[in-house]
A and B are shown apart, each in its own frame.
Chain A
Amino acid sequence: MAQTLLRSARPLQRLGLAATQQTSKMSSLSLVPGEAKLPDLSYDYGALEPAISGKIMELHHKNHHQTYVNSYNDASIKMQAAEKDNDIQSMISLQPLITFHGGGHINHSLFWENLAPTSQGGGEPPSGALAKAIDDHYGSLDSLKGKMNTALAGIQGSGWAWLVQDKQTGKLAVNTYANQFPVGGNFKPILGIDAWEHAYYLQYQNRKAEYFKAIWDVINWKAAEKRFT
């Protein structure tokens, strides 16, 4: 029992991310309860214009992502206390908060990395093993984009679409996840696109198809290649 509780004291691991593999590439993702931090962007807020406006990027990073970080820290500290007290009811009620806010922190951290200004390679097609896997699996990069955009448009409510890699077969797949559920289980994240309204509404309002089309101009395929094995 004590061991089980101790194991569950690392909330991010329960989200399906193996701490040693996934998070080592993201120094910003702290596993220590209460010490998650907002990662810096490697580009300016306005650098993704005109695909994504500077105003959206600033609010999205400084306010939305920060709120996930704060709320995750808050929930993970409470979780630690509940575990110390063997308070199973509190632990259970904290789970959805850890999943939602921890997931929000993970998803956005990965998202910022898989975007880049065109001056820093944004929109340049992938190369190497990932490019080959995309061609083999989808026929062409455009065909994959079409699949991702269809998946994004079909999300009912808030969520994400991810290009993922099946850990067992190594194959690529396009998955959607509701709200802030992070990619986990049998899949690892390669490339994510945020379909929450806050990701595009100030610029595109109800015309979300235009956002899904434009974002490919600032996709950082180099980051996706590093995640693909």
Chain B
Amino acid sequence: MDSRTSVLSAIIAALLSFIVFERFVLDPSPSTQQPQSIPSDILDMSVANYSLPPLPYAYDALEPAISAQIMTLHHTKHHQTYITNLNAALTNLQTAISGADIATQVSLQPVIRFNAGGHINHSLFWQNLAPASSSEAKFTSAPKLSKAIEATWGSEKEFKDAFNKALLGIQGSGWGWLVKVSGEGKEEKLRIVTTKDQDPVVGAGEVPVLGVDMWEHAYYLQYQNGKAAYVENIWKVINWKTTEERFLGGRNDAFKVLKASM
């Protein structure tokens, strides 16, 4: 391989990696983000190294709704494992791209989707939780969002009932999300969606407002098969201030915690 070819493949590798990041994290508008306008600091990210974002509260701060043991394992072990596997997969992807190994590039996609999804989902989840005694945990900390919720579902209670029903209907591992959907030229709407495994909420036009983890590792040590009680109690530790900020902001605002961990 001559030097021109190797420079060229390095650029292609960086661009392809960037496409992966764009899909999961950065969300630039494709119409304005032309390849030649990628700044050098983004090219440097082709060897990304994500790290575990610190929790904005102590491990025991969500008790009794969520035990310190669950929070510690969930953050330092489960979330960390998604990050470790994501970093490894991205390194392998880069090698596969440099080596023009298409089969490996394809086989890495589900691994990246799963582990990047796990990193995204958990990063958003920690931020939308808060100690029950804090002012953030009050529904009134989300004045505009609460209005929109009441306009959509009738009342806070009816919204929570609908959300809980969606959570308890998940078959296997997954998440429940309140998302803001902005259609083309239409007004923004709130919607409850469920996602399987670690599929991230990165659908077109969707802004994640509030996520609840329904993997068994999120509650099992404390609630065992009593997941209805977990679902009931989690409302006591929702950070409504964060949900209000996400509701008022765009997708990039919701994902800023991920950018900070790169």
Contact = CB atoms under 8 A, between A and B. Distances in A.
Contacts of A67: 225
12 contacts: A63-B224, A156-B198, A157-B173, A157-B198, A179-B171, A179-B172, A197-B217, A198-B225, A201-B216, A202-B224, A205-B217, A206-B217
A196 B225 CA distance: 12
Contacts of A158: 172-173, 216
B122 to A, nearest CB: 13
Contacts of A59: 224-225
Contacts of A33: none
Interface residues of A, number: 20
Contact of B215 (A64, A100, A197, A205): A197
A178 interface: yes
Contacts, number: 55
Contacts of A100: 171
B78 A206 contact: yes
Nearest to B220: A201
B220 A202 contact: yes
B147 interface: no
- Residue from A96, A156, A196, A206 with most neighbouring chain B CB atoms (10 Å): A156
Interface string B75-93: 0011001000000000000
A64 B172 CA distance: 12
A64 B225 contact: yes
A178 B225 CA distance: 19
A206 B197 contact: no
A73 interface: no
Given A197-B216, A197-B220, A206-B73, A180 B171 contact: yes
Interface in A40-74: 59, 63-64, 67
A157 B81 CA distance: 14
A178 B172 CA distance: 8
A157 B172 contact: yes
A56 to B, nearest CB: 10
Interface string A4-31: 0000000000000000000000000000
Contacts of A201: 216-217, 220-221
Contacts of B225: 59, 63-64, 67, 198
